[in-house]
Amino acid sequence: MSRPRCYVASPLGFSETTRPWYRDVLLPTLAEVVEPVDPWALTSDEEIAEEYGAGRQREIALEIGRRNIEAIRSCDLLVAQLDGQEADSGTVAELGFAAGLDLRCYGIRSDLRQAGEPGVALNLQVAAFVALHGGTIEPTLDALMTRLHADFGR
């Protein structure tokens, strides 16, 4: 039985301090249950530098977005990293798009700060998108993995 394809939405690839956890912990852990689709691997640093050097910042930005859209469409579910005072807008946009495509969405929010209305850990619309198709927002990666094992039988 093949593992379901899972788009991994997060801002973690932007920062030197978060890339190692994303690459060395999150992706391999998810791979125990799902086939992670890593949007950070869809475009190389060299490609971005070449396009920026040629003055094509807008073109490469839109191309990256198009690649992410196609990657989400190719998946069965989405996992979003939702920490921060406000969850990252790109991550939330990817989550909303996936929910609109009827994909089950899950979140990890280990941030201790309350960032939403009473009763939800973050913005009510984000919580509603996650709940729409039976997903959950979990407080730890371990809790998320327990949920994914339960939902996908691995």
Residue bearing the bigger pLDDT, 62 or 2: 62
Model pLDDT for residues 1-20, shown as the tens digit of each residue = 689 999 999 999 999 999 99
C-alpha 87, offset from chain centre? 11
Q: Tell me how crowded residue 53 is: count the other CB atoms within 10 A of its CB.
A: 9
The pTM of this model reads 0.94
Region at 39 (left for phi over 0; alpha for psi -120 to 50; beta for the rest):
alpha
Domain 5-39+75-152, what fold? Rossmann fold (3.40.50)
Model pLDDT for residues 77-121, shown as the tens digit of each residue = 999 999 998 999 999 999 999 999 999 999 999 988 877 788 888
Exposure string for 122-143, b = 16+ CB within 10 A, e = fewer: bbeebbebbebeebbbbeebee
- The domain locations on the chain are 5-39+75-152
Sign of the Cα pseudo-torsion (110, 5, 15, 23, in order): positive
Any idea what DSSP says for residue 126? H
C-alpha 105, offset from chain centre? 9
Q: Residue written as tokens 């994914």? A: 148
Per the prediction, the chain carries an average pLDDT of: 95
- Rounded to 5 degrees, φ, ψ at 76 are -100, -20
